[in-house]
A and B are shown apart, each in its own frame.
Chain A
Amino acid sequence: MNINLTLIGQSITFIFFVIFCLKYVWPPIMNALEERKTKIADGLAAADKGKHEEELAKKGAAETLRKAKEESAEIISHAQKRASEIIEEAKDAARAEADRLVHAAQAEIEQEANRAREHLRGQVVTLAVAGAEKVLKREIDEKANEDLLKDLVAQL
């Protein structure tokens, strides 16, 4: 346990190792650690950002969906309204057409009846004239005349 040169030797060795460590060991390891720290921090920040964006996107999607639903509901109600309108219109048109047809038919019937009446009147006149002629030709024969008039009346 003598104190001797070893002491100085140890000091020199110690200083050498410390300097070596200072120059070649500590900096690269610390750099790697720092770099990793920033990398991890960046990664976490990116993950946070991603989450935030996802949330925004979700919100956006929900909004769009809601809007689409509203729109579609509106469109459907529009369509329904329009359909009932069309049906009403069609009903109205059909009713009008029917009325028109009925009126036309009635008019035609009336016309036909008028025509038949005219025709009948013509025939009556003709018959009356013919009856008159016959009456005039056979004035003497009262009995026959009477028969003729009876015939005429029966024909009317």
Chain B
Amino acid sequence: MASDALTSTDYISHHLQNWTYGLHPQNGWSFAHSAAEAKAMGFWAIHVDTMLWSILLGLAFIFFFHREARKATAGVPSGMQNFVEMVVEFIDTSVRGSFTSKNKLVPPMALTVFVWIFLMNFMDLIPVDWLPWVAGQVGANVFGVDPHHVYFKVVSTTDPNATIGMALTVFALMIFFSIKVKGIGGFVGELTLHPFHSHNMAVQVFLIPFNLFLELVSLISKPISLALRLFGNMYAGEMIFILIAIMFSAGMLLAAVTGLSMDTILGGLLTLGGALLHMGWAIFHILVITLQAFIFMTLTIVYMDMAHSDH
């Protein structure tokens, strides 16, 4: 079973490797054929699968919502308009609940965040091998590459680049609106005059470094927690799906190789157990993906609210 263990490791690492296009020190601009090559490309590389799926799903969101928005009437809503309105109202209520200032950007941003992240997370519910297998077949038969070198990660939110990218955008908007609303003085003051405050000038000057340190930590922790929470949850979920997949593919393999024996029953049980586990985890995961999308949205709204409000 030593080889099995090896293939399991391969299987996992293969599943966790992005399809990368970038500037390789030796090969120039090319697709990476292995994890090592992808690593060698450093910063000047792009995860094609992440971009592809996030853009595809984003376009799907925009296309769908835009179509319904164009047709939206004040009359009796029908079919999909109901659904779209329900989502929009839900977002609007959330924004009204947590965002106290006026900013036209925040509600549509919350909507985009919620639906887009939900869709990207939703890809997690598609069995882990389907789309990579299709990609492998296309790679092998159309482009003539070894299917083992075709990497295809379909859940964009399991790529930290995606979550950090979004979190940094939110962070940038936070800082932008902080400065816009409170002015540079107000923004700097917020970083330096809290939480320790003194009316004595000299003491205040002495306190500034401590305040700055504390406030910077809390400021910087915002985008990091935002990004890593989503990434961590989705990555862990994906990982568990992969492990379950290994479990029941191992069971099937066992049953197929050993023929009629006790192992057949064991293999069958493993397969059945794997299928049940997969189903259970998938059902649970429906909750997780929705919750994570919702949390990202809510935190975005809350951070934007903090950027708009004076202490």
Contacts and interface: CB of A to CB of B under 8 A. Distances in A.
Interface string A1-30: 111111111110111111011101111111
A6 B165 contact: yes
B168 A11 contact: yes
| Chain A interface residue bracket vs B | 20 to 34
B227 to A, nearest CB: 10
Contacts of A9: 46, 51, 161, 165
A39 interface: yes
Interface of B: 16, 18, 20, 22, 38-39, 41-47, 50-51, 54-55, 58, 61-62, 65-66, 68-70, 72-75, 77, 84-85, 88-89, 92, 104-105, 107-109, 111-112, 116, 156, 159-162, 164-166, 168-169
Given A2-B38, A10-B54, A10-B164, 4 more contacts: A1-B159, A10-B50, A16-B58, A25-B62
B116 A5 contact: no
Nearest to B38: A2
Contacts of B54: 10, 13
A4 B47 contact: yes
Contact of B165 (A8, A29, A35, A39): A8
A18 B110 CA distance: 9
A91 to B, nearest CB: 79
27 contacts: A1-B159, A2-B20, A2-B43, A3-B160, A4-B45, A5-B43, A6-B159, A6-B161, A7-B161, A7-B162, A10-B50, A13-B165, A14-B116, A14-B169, A18-B108, A22-B104, A22-B105, A22-B108, A26-B69, A26-B88, A26-B107, A28-B69, A28-B70, A29-B65, A29-B68, A29-B72, A32-B85
B46 A4 contact: yes
B interface SS class: helix
A25 B108 contact: yes
A67 interface: no
Interface string A79-110: 00000000000000000000000000000000
Given A7-B161, A25-B111, A26-B107, A17 B116 contact: yes
Given A4-B46, A21-B112, A10 B161 contact: yes
B62 A21 contact: yes
Contacts of A22: 104-105, 108-109
B43 A3 contact: yes
B51 A13 contact: yes
Given A4-B43, A15-B169, A21-B109, A36 B62 contact: no
B51 A10 contact: yes
Given A4-B22, A7-B164, A25 B69 contact: yes
A125 interface: no
A65 interface: no
B111 A21 contact: yes
A127 interface: no
A29 B58 contact: no
